[in-house]
Chain A
Amino acid sequence: MTQIHFQGEHLLYGTLGHILVIMAFCFALLSSVSYYWASKSEVEDKAWKLTGRISFFIHALSILGIASIMFFLIYSHYFEYHYVWHHSSTILPFKYMLACFWEGQEGSFLLWAFWHVILSFIIIRFSGKWEAPVMAIVCMVQVFISSMLLGVFIGDYKLGSDPFILLRNHPDMMNLPFIQMPDYLSKIADGRGLNPLLQNYWMVIHPPILFLGFASTLIPFAYAMAGLMKKQYTEWLKPAIPWTFFGVMILGTGILMGAAWAYESLSFGGFWAWDPVENASLVPWLTLVGAAHAMLIYKNKNQSLFTVIILCLATFLLILYSTFLTRSGILGDTSVHAFTDLGMSGQLLVYMAFFMVWAITMLIIRRKDIPGQSKEESIYSREFWMYIGVIILVISAFQIIFTTSIPVINKIFSTHLAPPVKPANHYNAWQLPMAVILSILVACVQYLKYKETSAKVFLGKITPSFVISILLTALAAYMLHLDRFPYILLLFSSSFAVIANIDFLIRIIKGKLDHAGASIAHIGFGLILLGVLISNAKSNIISSNRSGISMGKDFPNNENILLNKNDTTLMGGYYITYTGKEKKGVNVYFKIDYLSPNEKGKLVKEFTLKPIVQTNKAMGNVSEPDTRHYLTKDIYTHITYADLEDINSDEQSNSKYAKEVTKTVSIGDTASTSNSLIIIKSLDKSPDMSSYHLGNIDLAVGVKLIITDINKKIYNVEPIYLIKDNMSASLEARVEELGLQIKFTKINPETGKIDLSIAEKKSNKREFIIMKAIVFPYINLLWTGCLVMILGSVLAIRNRLKKR
């Protein structure tokens, strides 16, 4: 067989890229082993450390090189590469090229590895004697991530998925005949492009932040492992604390950005759906928050070290578990997030199992040596209640991850459990009490000192906030008509958290920014809870329909509203009009005007919402909401049903008549069309037929019709039934203004009834949409809370770094 010479390919970049992947893998391994040997001996081994460092730099350069080449290939539209062809296209704007980069799994693993590399530089620069053991762990993680990009065969087993595989070598493509032609590349018009659903700015900013969050959980893990390996159980904590808070901040931001993305442009009607993929990133955040607070207990009281270590280890293992859940395809139908399975689930499992076994083994071997707490702490101490808070966080995390793992449990035990029928009810039943306890702790604990505070002093300090919160809660519950007891409880506890921390900030810290971080972050936490509570508990579906058949209280079917084009309907205090649709690219925009009466009682437009239905080839039609933001509420709308068939039809086909509808009527009856009423007035036995040359035996009967349109305009027409030369015929009458054509097709002499065949122009068919609209009150409390919490975290980290 002769070698085919393919034309127009740029093979050099792929070869280089693949070599860099192999280098990244090998040097990560070399670096990890070298750093390990460097950290092994009592006195740090300089030579091994230098080897570790150099290997790491080569590894880092390789990762950066792979990323640059990949981006260059996407930028240059080299469709001979499968990844480029699969994820990008020439028509894509520049800003989405980054999104193409991490749309695929290979790209997102690369992004993850990239952040590890960046964080490692900081460790090498600043962590001194901890560099060797910490980097040994970090590089071991890099070995596993790099292996995901290898794409080499070991026997029959394919290790990793090569991002630089050529289109013509890809298993999906290899057998296509055209791909064997030397000039196949010139036949490819364009890449498949980025999934339109992901073509928005969130896809550009959300993944990097989230992956930085994932990456930052590795550092506390690596420090904790380093401490266990070096038998220095306590010294690692000090450098690890800022990293842990950094992780809390970034991972939290990433998760909330995901929530904001869902709220802004996905149509499940809210910011959080307890979807497995969301849960899988929330759970490690909860344990990381637990770890961070346990670290503070240890730092001040030398207690709960074991908890700190366990939580640091668990957080990173949970990140690996969530990677496994979301990327192995095991979630199957239970998640809306569609990740394609690249057949790497085995590899992901090994990745997770490796670090799990390693961490647990280290913990068991060293458990006797880890200094435990000697004496019981007082109930009136800060550390005792902080520890309770940590435990609550752990329980909360455990409950979420257990239910989320139902598909995994099914796999292991061959059960057939389905996810909860009403996920929100299931999770809220557990998480609401947790949130109540946590927010009360957040309110009170700062007023307790480490060691011992007298009950009297504590109560004296907390009482003002407590009283104000009670009053505010009563007022808010009354104004919001919040009547369910658990909601009122959470309303109280979260406002208590906010107020007590504001009070602490003003009276105790006296506004000094250096020490304000914790209080500010806790205010943010309280505001988030308030926003979640009010916007959910008092969310109001205003698009209710009162029409048609009710299925009863247990099976409510009245959440969507029908809007006829150009009709004005009253909905939730607004008059709304659907004015038409407009197609831009793959998106169809539905324009809905919201009007309200002015002083003179005349309707004036307040705003227009344009929810979208995306005609997405890869995923079918997808609905994207549009939301009107006010300070105190959001009006959220999305299209739940629209007939998109005529979206491509032109004027010409609209001007044709649709199928006739025959109606049997008597004189005096009324018939309706989509835009008019027809009154059948009388039969006309001798219509004017002078131009038709009728013979003697021929017969003509007319029917006089009075047609009234919506504007009460009247049209008089007379269609005619005709028998000429023994053939029956009919002379239709038309009303062009109404797009109406009426034929008199039959007469029944016995009953006196007649048949009218009515045809309407297609453009008469009233266009309509079905829409759902929800008001979320005070959802801005949630977003404000997020920003405040991030600000507080930044201040806290800055203060910790200053102290070093």
Chain B
Amino acid sequence: MKTSHIIGIILIAIAIGAIMSSVSDAGTYASFEIAASHPSKEYHVVGKLDKSKEQNYDPKVNPDLFSFYLKDKDGLEKKVILNKPKPQDFERSEQIVIIGKMAGEEFHASNVLLKCPSKYNDAQVQMKKSNS
């Protein structure tokens, strides 16, 4: 057996290992229902902010504690607790991805990703005042 064959076999083994680890480390998009049935596992939950419910952020008590209510894609709503300061422009977000796990009736998020309606593609032209 040539050295090159051995190296080849080792390479393939490591490559398979890399693929397996990538798949097993990969997060999963899920609903609150699934997250609640596997409370120890971390999930990505996609949903919308419920603007009618209260958001609680009192930095004088704790700057790293922010809570809000999120409605997932199936319409199920849960209280979400984030262990970070309230993100900038939080209310503007049209879609929110939270990453974390369920703890009782609450979702403990260690990260949030906001998708804001970008003004970037707006076709707004800054006009001169017409009476000038």
Contact = CB atoms under 8 A, between A and B. Distances in A.
A710 interface: no
A641 B110 contact: no
B118 A640 contact: no
Given A399-B22, A617-B119, A188 B61 contact: no
Interface in B87-132: 88-89, 92, 97, 99, 103, 108, 110, 113, 115-116, 118-121, 123, 125-128, 130
Interface in A605-624: 613, 617-623
B125 A176 contact: yes
Contacts of B81: 551, 555
A376 interface: yes
B53 interface: no
Contacts of B21: 399, 426, 429-430
B89 A557 contact: no
B14 to A, nearest CB: 5
A176 B126 CA distance: 13
A555 B106 CA distance: 13
A645 interface: no
A188 B18 contact: no
Given A620-B116, A621-B88, A770-B63, A188 B126 contact: yes
B84 A560 contact: yes
Nearest to A766: B60
Interface in A390-431: 391, 394-395, 398-399, 402-403, 406, 416-421, 425-426, 429-430
A641 B63 CA distance: 9
Interface stretch (A70-78, A139-147, A205-213, A542-550): A542-550
Contacts of A192: 126
Given A395-B11, A418-B26, A549 B62 contact: yes
Contact of B26 (A188, A417, A622): A417
Contacts of A558: 64
Contacts of B54: none
A394 B18 CA distance: 12
A369 interface: no
Nearest to B57: A641
A189 B7 contact: no
Main secondary structure of the interface of B (DSSP, over half): mixed
Interface string B1-42: 011100100010011001101110111110000000000001
A186 B22 CA distance: 56
Nearest to B124: A192
Given A395-B18, A418-B29, A421-B99, A178 B127 contact: yes
A420 B26 contact: yes
A373 B22 CA distance: 34
Q: How many A residues are at the interface, by size bracket?
A: 35 or more
Contacts of A417: 23, 26-28
Contacts of B123: 172-173, 176
A333 B112 CA distance: 11
Contacts of A402: 18-19, 22
A581 to B, nearest CB: 15
Interface string A765-776: 000101000000
Contacts of A7: none
A48 B113 CA distance: 56
A623 B85 CA distance: 13
Contacts of B120: 338, 340, 618-619
Q: Residue among A340, A545, A556 with the most chain B CB within 10 A?
A: A545
A562 B4 CA distance: 60
B61 A640 contact: no
A395 B63 contact: no
A638 to B, nearest CB: 11
Contacts of A187: 127-128, 130
Given A426-B21, A617-B119, A549 B59 contact: no
Contacts of B59: 562, 641, 768, 770
Contacts of A373: 4
B44 interface: yes
A555 B110 contact: yes
Nearest to A644: B88
A418 B85 CA distance: 24
Contacts of A430: 18, 21
Interface residues of B, number: 53
A406 B22 contact: yes
A418 B27 contact: yes
A620 B115 CA distance: 11
A235 interface: no
A295 interface: no
A190 B64 contact: no
B81 to A, nearest CB: 7
Nearest to B123: A172
B125 A178 contact: yes
Contacts of B97: 333
Contacts of B18: 395, 398-399, 402, 430
A561 interface: yes
Interface string A556-569: 11111110000000
Nearest to B26: A417
A551 B107 CA distance: 12
B126 A418 contact: no
Contacts of B14: 395
Nearest to A418: B27
A640 B85 contact: yes
Given A333-B97, A418-B27, A376 B65 contact: no
Contacts of A388: 7
B71 interface: no
A394 B110 CA distance: 33
Contacts of A555: 81, 83, 103, 108, 110
A376 B1 CA distance: 11
Given A190-B126, A395-B18, A557 B26 contact: no
Interface in A460-507: none
A420 B126 contact: no
A555 B42 CA distance: 12
A15 to B, nearest CB: 23
Contacts of B113: 333
Contact of B44 (A418, A425, A622): A418
A416 B28 contact: yes
B23 A557 contact: no
Contact of A545 (B44, B63, B103, B110): B63
B22 A556 contact: no
Given A85-B125, A340-B120, 19 more contacts: A187-B130, A340-B121, A394-B11, A402-B18, A416-B29, A419-B27, A420-B26, A420-B27, A421-B42, A421-B44, A560-B85, A562-B63, A618-B120, A620-B116, A621-B88, A641-B63, A641-B88, A768-B59, A770-B85
10 smallest CB-CB distances across A and B, nearest first, come from: A548-B62, A418-B27, A557-B83, A557-B64, A620-B89, A641-B85, A621-B88, A172-B123, A399-B18, A640-B85
Interface of A: 85, 172-173, 176, 178, 186-190, 192, 333, 338, 340, 373, 376-377, 388, 391, 394-395, 398-399, 402-403, 406, 416-421, 425-426, 429-430, 545, 547-549, 551, 555-562, 613, 617-623, 640-641, 768, 770
13 contacts: A376-B2, A395-B14, A418-B26, A418-B28, A420-B22, A421-B27, A560-B85, A561-B63, A618-B118, A640-B85, A641-B63, A770-B63, A770-B85
